[in-house]
Amino acid sequence: RIAGLFRLNETAIYPPAKPTFYPPSPPAFVMRRHRPRIAASRALFRVILPCAALALASLALAAVSNEPLADAPGLRASLVRGSGAGHACMVSPRRHAVWRGKAGGGLSGRHVSMASVVAEEMSPFQNLQAMGDDHRALMESLVKNGQEHLMSNWAAPGTDDDKKVQMMDQLKKLDESYPGGLVDYIKNSRELLEAAVSGENALEGFVPSVPVGERLEVGSKKYKQMEAIGMTEAAHAVFVLVAGGLGERLGFEGIKVSLPSDLLSGKPFLQLYAENILSLQAKGREATNNPNLKLPLAIMTSGDTHERTIQLLKENDYFGLDADQVTLVQQEKVPAIMDRTGSLAVDPEDPYTVLTKPHGHGDVHTLLHQSGLADKWASEGRRWIMFFQDTNGLIFQAAPALIGVSESLGLQINTLTVPRRPGEAVGSICHLKHQETGQELTINVEYNQLEPLLKSTVSPEGDVPDESGFSPYPGNTNALVFRVEPYAKVLKQTGGKMPEFVNPKFKDETKTTFKKPTRLECMMQDYPRLLDRDAKVGFTQLDRWTCFAAVKNNAVDAAAQYEKTGFAESASTAESAIYRMFRQKLQLLGVDVAEPSQEVFNGVPTWVGPKVIMSPSFASTFEEMGRKFLAPGTISSAHLVPQG
């Protein structure tokens, strides 16, 4: 009888369940003869045994929840209205299991109906009916894909409704910014997480080799040829700056592109880049006889940097650029993932906020597609897109040669590289060919993947130096030149989707739970994975001193980085590298420049000598610089800043 007085119901909330138990009435003669015993029995069945049964049910609930009863989250008893008297209800939030008992007395089995149960744990599902059409459709699609927990801690309809709308607006924005929407994001996360758990190796079966490319020496005949070709082609170029970072890690309060590139001129990085574009634009106008030629600049920002980048540009009149030739595209974050099933993470401090994390700089390709810029540039007849990072003051020294090699070799994608020592913690540009399928691609391979790949396929010695003393596999700088027309076509075919990866930090070897929520990521240098095998992808290598000196570390971290790699990558070393680059180019032109000395600042050796800065308007190429120094002289400790 007790089993029939109430039951564990784990069916769906809808539709209502039918009555399940009708206790039979005893015959009349039994009632007359055993009235005292029946009264006692009724007391037993209506009070004592129901209480005992309810206690047993509570223990069962705790077992179902896999938690002690006192710790089971969301376990509550509340009154719901049935036909007549109220009924007590306890709900397990994990299994939606319900035990019901009549309030004020015995347990009733006559009205067991999930639809009649109104408990706090069930109220989130009623919020669906209170949503607008767009929000409801989105949430229903998420629930179908295992995301019902997003509403598990919502209050009942009528409470916190404004916060629910804010959360749905956030989810809608995330859904619109990700190619394919959040359902695709969840699907991709599940697939990538399963691959991570199983230990799949994306490079399995591939054999690396050195890709097609040019290794150039500054001042050489080949170098000058590539610069000359590049200057002609630069009239048909556009530029994309990846600038989503703040200067907090550097001890700088502001966006990274507002950092001074050097203390001699005091120009922020963004001004230095703008002046280089203006210099190439002026020379392009002469070469094409088009006084209205403008070279577009697109800047990818983040939520942290977008408004401040706009402010920096407006306060400085766009550093000489026209406002209509500068476009900002803002990168959105993606939801954090809290488990292997791809459950989107909710902020533990706020049930109405989804945790989000950066998706990676590969989003720049997605944004150029979604904004229509890639198609626009292709329709305008633009030929080249140069991608560059936010704090490399030397990058435009390499731009003409980089574009020139792209045209000379017919490359769709050309990566600027620097010499790299075996084992150095820098990714390498490699050509990969699959032993079984014949698939070929040229991509960046991270240093911790390259060594085991080489040992298992090419040589048991792994990455060894060639006759130059460096690895034959050049080091990636993440500065790239793309050919516009095929780039726009590929983005249209893929809908702007980029190859992704996931890097979860598991708590233990079982790989069942994360130390903290993870997310999917993408990198701009992985774009070649989208190309056909006949697409030509290569590299251009220049000495590090002439093209790469980034600002990545504060003074303390820079010292540690220098001890580990030999490159501090701090503000002081990046500034010193700019002076050094101009000194060395002048020396190649025959100028007698005093040799610098090394001094240690904050634990980092830094070159100190004559400080030479040349304005982009003074010279864009090595050949042009030589024409300006017709009678080389001597530079000792002076500060040289030629303009125009």
> What is the per-residue pLDDT for 81?
31
Q: How much of the chain is in helix, strand and coil states, percent to nearest 5?
A: 40, 20, 40
For the residues of 496-565, what is the DSSP string, one character each? Answer: T----EE---BSSTT--SBSS-B-EE--GGGGGGGS-TTS-EEEEE--HHHH--B--B-HHHHHHHHHHH
Q: Check if the beta carbon of residue 289 is closer than 8 Å to that of residue 260.
A: no
> What is the per-residue pLDDT for 242?
96
Coil, helix or strand for 399? Answer: helix
Give the pLDDT confidence of 264-317 residue by residue, as tens digits.
999 999 999 999 999 999 999 999 999 999 999 999 999 999 999 999 999 999
- pLDDT, average across residues 467-483: 95
- For residues 92 and 156, the model is more confident at 156
> What is the per-residue pLDDT for 512?
81
Say which DSSP state 187 is in.
H
Q: Which of 64-73, 146-155, 478-487 has the lowest mean pLDDT?
A: 64-73
Coil, helix or strand for 94? Answer: coil
- pLDDT, average across residues 448-476: 92
At the top level of CATH, which class does the domain 188-551 belong to? alpha beta
d(CA 621, CA 198): 51
State yes or no: pLDDT of 12 exceeds 80. Answer: no
State yes or no: pLDDT of 37 exceeds 50. Answer: yes
pLDDT, mean over the chain: 84
Give the pLDDT confidence of 533-573 residue by residue, as tens digits.
899 999 999 999 999 999 998 888 888 888 888 888 899 99
> What is the per-residue pLDDT for 75?
32
d(CA 155, CA 120): 8
Instruction: Report the percentage of the chain scoring pLDDT > 70.
Output: 79
- pLDDT, average across residues 146-174: 94
Name the residue ranges covered by the structural domains of the chain: 2-121, 124-177, 188-551, 569-644
> What is the per-residue pLDDT for 83?
34
> What is the per-residue pLDDT for 366?
98
- pLDDT, average across residues 415-419: 98
Give the pLDDT confidence of 578-606 residue by residue, as tens digits.
999 999 999 999 988 888 888 888 888 88
The DSSP bridge partners found for residue 520 are 502
pTM across the whole model: 0.80
Q: Which sign, positive or negative, has the C-alpha torsion 9, 11, 17, 21? A: negative
Q: Check if the beta carbon of residue 491 is closer than 8 Å to that of residue 479.
A: no
- pLDDT, average across residues 202-223: 96
Distance of CA 316 to the CA centre of its chain: 30
Coil, helix or strand for 243? Answer: coil
Q: Check if the beta carbon of residue 211 is closer than 8 Å to that of residue 430.
A: yes
Q: Which of 83-92, 446-455, 458-467 has the lowest mean pLDDT?
A: 83-92
Give the pLDDT confidence of 58-108 residue by residue, as tens digits.
555 444 444 433 333 333 333 233 333 333 333 333 333 333 333 333 433
- For residues 22 and 37, the model is more confident at 37
> What is the per-residue pLDDT for 105?
39
